[in-house]
Amino acid sequence: MKDAKTKKTKAAKYISFAINILTVIICVFAVIVAISTITSKNKGYVNIMGYAYYSVATGSMEGSNKDSFSQGDVIRVKILKDGQKDSLKENQVITFIDATIKVNGIPQPNTHRIVGVERVADPDGNIRVFYRTKGDANDSPDPVLRASDEVIGVMVGKSNAIGKAFLWMQTKDGFLVCVVVPSILIFIYCFAMVIVNLIAYNKKKILLATEEKQAELESEIEAKLREKILRELQASADGKAEDKNKEKG
């Protein structure tokens, strides 16, 4: 019976520990994403450990190339530093800020393949790099050249069909289910854990206080018992001394 209770207690501890670890991981990830979102504001991407992730909303890059992708996919883009944006080559797939695609007046990111590189000298003699891009599914290149400073990064990976889930998460229902509800549940769990820990702390405090009182009481009883024994021994010794004096008399 005790073994079964001990096993249940251990299992409960392991489950609680696992839940706490999972909660910490989720909270840390949420903090990282929040910080990345704030620091990347107005850049057209969210920088997560040097990468940006996009859910594909159109089929302009569908094709037979190894790095072609379809609507509903998620692509992983390595964010480039300014010094790396001038040295891209033909056939690389890049993500850039596209001024021809706007939402609420804000240019949106787009991802197409480089099909040409052009270098143009400005009036001061400085060389500027421009990229001609094209979607794999399109018949002709994009009508606008992409300046190197419009480039966000280079596509380095993709996940098939996961983008549909990401696109749904961007809707009101998806945001509610995937962000709001889990956040509320985590808050409730954390609040409950605080209450449980406070109750456990109070119980432990009461138990320690009880143990201290019990220890004091035991010490007091022990001291009185010791004093009583000493008195009895002293009385016995006095009695023996008195008997000896009577014998001598």
The 10s digit of each residue's pLDDT in 13-43 is: 777 777 777 777 766 666 665 555 555 555 5
173: Cβ–Cβ under 8 A, 6 or more apart, which residues? none
- Whether residues 76 and 156 share a domain: the answer is yes
- What's the predicted TM-score (pTM) here? 0.56
Domain that holds residue 207: 171-249
Q: How many domains does the chain fold into?
A: 3
CATH code where residue 117 lies: 2.30.30
Domain shared by 186 and 239, yes or no: yes
Question: What integer is the mean pLDDT of 133-156?
Answer: 95
Residues 104, 35 share a domain: no
CA 237, CA 64: separation in Å to the nearest integer?
Answer: 111
Which band of pLDDT confidence, cut at 50, 70 and 90, is reported for residue 208?
confident
Residue 203 forms part of a structural domain: yes
Does an H or E element contain 42, and which? none
Q: Are residues 109 and 193 in the same domain?
A: no
Residue 133 CA neighbour count, 13 Å, CB half: 26
